[in-house]
Structure 1
Amino acid sequence: MYSESCLDFIAAKPHGILRILDDQTSLTQATDHTFLQKCHYHHGNSPWYAKPKLPLPVFTVKHYAGPVTYQVHKFLTKNRDQLCPEVLDIFSQSRLKVL
């Protein structure tokens, strides 16, 4: 039960941490700060989440293996990384229906 609730906190629709990250990366005006503010807003009172005591660009996930603190500097940029053009070309030229 404990780990299942933590997994929901991380991935559940519509406000799991990963869902917020996906949402923010689709918005061109979003920033690391807006991502962090949405996380604080939706999870500030969650037993799985901790805001920093000082106004730092970090958040902590308190999961079954212990607390893990994430720096949000360039968080959105890293998540927006796309496949390199060469790989996209290979996919687009494939005759396989799966691709």
Structure 2
Amino acid sequence: MKLATQFRGTLVAIEEKSMTGSNNKYYQLAVLQGSEATSLSCTEEVYKQNKEMFKDYVFGMQISEYEGKKTLRVTGIYDLPGTATAPGTAAADPGKDKDKK
């Protein structure tokens, strides 16, 4: 069984690891939610998203169960609604056009 969910948290760290004596790589990230922190596995695509640390995001997560074993995996990191800016642009200054009529 697989379930998908989303949650809001702060990205604290993300790293690539490999198993001892093996070329197999896996990826983990650390997420802070309130005063609790945890380490979660994530996909290679999430690892390569190159998100800013110590910033709030919405995390997509897949919860799987197979033969009684449960796994959690982050499948996406998304900007909070209304906070994304296009690359190469700055936030608008609301007072910029104030004197124009």
Q: Give the TM-score normalised by structure 2.
A: 0.25
Q: Which has the higher strand share?
A: 2
Q: Which of structures 1 and 2 has the larger relative contact order (alpha carbons within 8 angstroms, sep 6+)?
A: 2
Structure number having the greater helix percentage: 1
TM-score of the aligned structures, taking structure 1 as reference length: 0.25
Larger Rg: 2
